Amino acid sequence: MSYSSLDHCTGCNRCVERCPTSIIRLVAGVPSVDLSVGECTFCRACLDVCPQPVFDATRFRFDHVAEVSGSCLATRGIACQSCGETCPEHAIRFKPRIGGPFQPVIEAATCTGCGACLQVCPVDAISMRPLRELTDG
């Protein structure tokens, strides 16, 4: 979920208290999302509890997408599909490869950037890449 305007945030901490996955923290008095501790389920609890127009009610995706690095087990010849199995949007698919395990492919248009894939990767091979990097060339 994107932020509508952090300038409107009063630092009331309601979004932090209400987030069921505990990924929202106040940093310098404004909400910040930490996907290293959990995923965003886009439940709207932060939006519903916030008395100010901080959270954008029309968007249910972040401004970043998942990216798989070369340390991925599947790219190193070890069968693993943990990230694809946990992705709620099925944005991580696996392409067959002759002589080795299937290779991960991320559908950027489908990925919401929720972070579900981050915690399940046994070798921390997944990171988030800003969407603007994909559109800027």
Domains in the chain with CATH codes: 6-49 (3.30.70.20), 64-135 (3.30.70.20)
User: What's phi and psi for 43, nearest 5 deg?
Assistant: -75, -15
Residue with token string 């972040």: 62
Cβ burial, residue 122 (10 Å; 0-12/13-18/19+):
exposed
- Give which of 30, 46, 21 is closest to 119, Cα–Cα: 21
SS3 79: coil
β-strands 92-97, 100-106: how paired?
antiparallel
Q: Which residues contact 131 (CB under 8 A, 6 or more apart)?
A: 63, 64, 65, 108, 113
pLDDT of 134 reads 60
How many Å apart are CA 24 and CA 17, to the nearest integer? 9
pLDDT of 133 reads 66
Alpha helices by DSSP H, the chain: 14-18, 45-49, 82-86, 116-120, 131-135
Taking only the tens place, the pLDDT of each residue in 57-71 is 777 888 899 999 999
Taking only the tens place, the pLDDT of each residue in 37-96 is 999 999 999 999 999 888 877 778 888 999 999 999 999 999 999 999 999 999 999 999
